[in-house]
A and B are shown apart, each in its own frame.
Chain A
Amino acid sequence: MITTPPRIVTSRVGLPDSFTLERYLATGGYEGLRKALSMSPADVAAEVNKASLLGRGGAGFPAGRKWSMLRKAATTYLVVNGDESEPATFKDHMLIESDPHQIIEGTAIAAYATGVEQAFIYCRGEFALGFERLQQACNEAYAYGALGADVLGSGYALDIVIHPGAGAYICGEETALLESLEGKRGFPRIKPPYFPAAVGLYGEPTVVNNVETVSSLPWIVMHGGDAFAALGEGSSTGTRLFALSGRVERPGWFEIEMSKTTFRDLIYDPSLGGGIAGGKQLRAFIPGGVSSPWFGPEQLDLALNQEAVGQAGSMLGSGSVVVMDSDTCVVRAAWRIARFFNRESCGQCTPCREGSGWIEKIMHRLENGLGREEDIALVLDACDNISPGLTWPPKQTTVCVFGPSIPPSIVSVVKMFPDELLVHVKEGGCPFPADAVRRG
């Protein structure tokens, strides 16, 4: 079912001057922060708890709980994760370029609620235009009085630094992001401690929230946590941005009420994905970023609900849905995902560093007709070394969740399309002519 929820994070997107202070102020900008400052920090946090806002970065951890973990220790830093790099995920990129003031305001609300006076917005290095717009918005917010020594006359002091990344997928992992922000290589930290709330930036208690998560906060403060929680169902409340790409008529982002809409609606409805490109048939789709197990046509009627998708054996993850049609070679698709993981593995842990290379090479030779029948068992064995048992949710042999994110696409192809792998072996090449032999 397609509902018409309020546009919580995208209300200004599409206006030609959506990123300017003038437009922001003319459309209710910084009123959420003003209201928050009239409340106690604990009351602001309570509103967010009522909203049941799940973090929008990929792990889906409740934002309110992340904050409350901090109260036991003096909170020091807030870091907003704008290092969006998960393949086929492009929602934060859009929010950064289109509505940077909303991110500044949301960051200020989160900082106030957690008692933080120093915040950082980590912006992916490749988002040069986005960085410029965030920096411009930050400069304007200071001039307007929404940041600085006396935020909107409240006596509360807050500084925000816009920090650039420099190109490394792994820095989206929150402990790698903190290492990067400390001026180091983006190596994820050994756990425990599991949460930066205990030991974060410079070893101090730190909250890390995603760009979309903080972008929701001005609306939640203005309209109340209950209004947000009234949207969606169960634990999946509010609206969420879904990034749809691949072989659909209308690739793009859509702000959708959680739990009400199904994958079928998202992919086929004329107001959303508009169906498979060229009227072809759906073969498979990735429901939540390339770390998630794939779904087939039989799962189309699942609702966009974190629990439902989890019970069906996958995850909503980063909210990116990639559609593969009847002309897509799934072996090639899985190879390209393996290649991505191989290139972006930070190299700290052996199962991930070596395993991703093995998997990429085996998939490459299968796709290019140089594979052997026993390669199918071999590639699964390599996957099993990274994530024993190949279960969902996956088991882990590495410092971070990057490693266990490698097997799902491979396992999906083996489970869903066993014959297609064999055809590649027996015919000595890819049966999809357009795919021919590809470089490695």
Chain B
Amino acid sequence: MARLSPENRTRAEAIVACYPKRRSALIPLCHLAQAQDGFLTEEAMEDIAGLLGCTPAEVRGTASFYDMLHTEPVGRHVVAVCTNIACMLAGAYEVLDQAEASLGISVGQTTADGEFTLEEAECLAGCDHAPCVQVNSRFFGPVDPDGFDALAEDLRSGRLSETVPAHGTLSRVERSVGLPAREARSRGEAGRQPGPTEAPGTVAE
């Protein structure tokens, strides 16, 4: 498992071509690898490093900064209950208590059958539907404790598979068009001296 597939490699190269510098494609390629495997495998991070011209450690070092990028396996459904201020005022901790009780796991854990990973989220910008819950980055809300059980049941039975794709799938719409990016003018890098208009600090404040 877990090298980027030939199709995903082609997709990855198309994504890299959108950016003036290859490294900018790091996060989009991590999403691509997560869509393939559900999380970031060692092999995928090596492939991404190769495509970007950086080291696997740099890929991991960057990915580990971001909450959505997982370097360990997670469940098919990553369930994130927002408990930030607006959701808390609407009863989010009661929803989280219910989630732990009915899934039989604590925040940060995955159920034994690999169906669910439970997370406590910071504000998801769904405060007009508080308390809000995300499953694989798709929104549900308002969700009360009973509603949570119904949601978990719908997910388990596959009734929501149209709305909620497999974990890691950020977008089901791909970029179909566009101009290839022009190489960035790389100030200070070998082979090119900055021109007069590019000198740093010419427009301070």
Q: A interface vs B, CB < 8 Å?
A: 69-70, 72-74, 76, 84-90, 92-93, 118, 124-129, 131-133, 135-136, 138-139, 142-143, 147-149, 157, 159, 161-169, 180-186, 192-195, 197-199, 202-205, 243, 245-247, 251-253, 286, 290, 320, 322, 324, 328, 332-333, 336-337, 340, 343-344, 346, 438-439
The listed residue with most A CB atoms (<10 A of its CB), out of B18, B54, B186, B203, is B203
Q: Are A129 and B66 in contact (CB under 8 A)?
A: no
Interface Cβ pair total, 8 Å cutoff: 226
Q: Are A344 and B204 in contact (CB under 8 A)?
A: no
Whole-angstrom distance from the CB of A417 to the nearest CB of chain B? 16
Q: Are B52 and A126 in contact (CB under 8 A)?
A: no
Q: Which residues on A sit within 8 Å (CB–CB) of B66?
A: 125, 165-168, 186
| CB<8 Å pairs between A and B, sample of 8 | A70-B203, A88-B84, A90-B126, A165-B27, A193-B201, A203-B187, A245-B127, A333-B89
Q: Which residues on A sit within 8 Å (CB–CB) of B54?
A: 183
Q: Are B127 and A131 in contact (CB under 8 A)?
A: no
Q: Does B153 contact A (CB under 8 A)?
A: no
- Over the window 42-73 of chain B, the binary record of Cβ atoms lying under 8 Å from chain A Cβ atoms (1 yes, 0 no) is 00000000001010000001110111110000
Bound complex: CA A92 to CA B126 (Å): 11
Q: Are A131 and B170 in contact (CB under 8 A)?
A: yes
Interface residues of B in 80-99 (CB under 8 A from A): 83-86, 88-90, 93
Q: Are A343 and B122 in contact (CB under 8 A)?
A: yes
Q: Are B20 and A202 in contact (CB under 8 A)?
A: yes
Number of interface residues of B (CB under 8 A): 69
Q: Which residues on B sit within 8 Å (CB–CB) of A163?
A: 24, 27-28
Q: Which residues on A sit within 8 Å (CB–CB) of B162?
A: none
Q: Are A73 and B197 in contact (CB under 8 A)?
A: yes
Bound complex: CA A47 to CA B7 (Å): 47
Whole-angstrom distance from the CB of B80 to the nearest CB of chain A? 8
List the 10 closest A-B pairs by CB distance, nearest first. A167-B67, A183-B26, A166-B66, A142-B177, A245-B127, A167-B68, A183-B23, A245-B86, A128-B137, A87-B123
Known: A90-B125, A132-B172. A126 touches B134 (CB 8 A): yes
Known: A245-B130, A336-B83. A193 touches B185 (CB 8 A): no
Q: Which residues on A sit within 8 Å (CB–CB) of B89?
A: 245-247, 322, 324, 328, 333
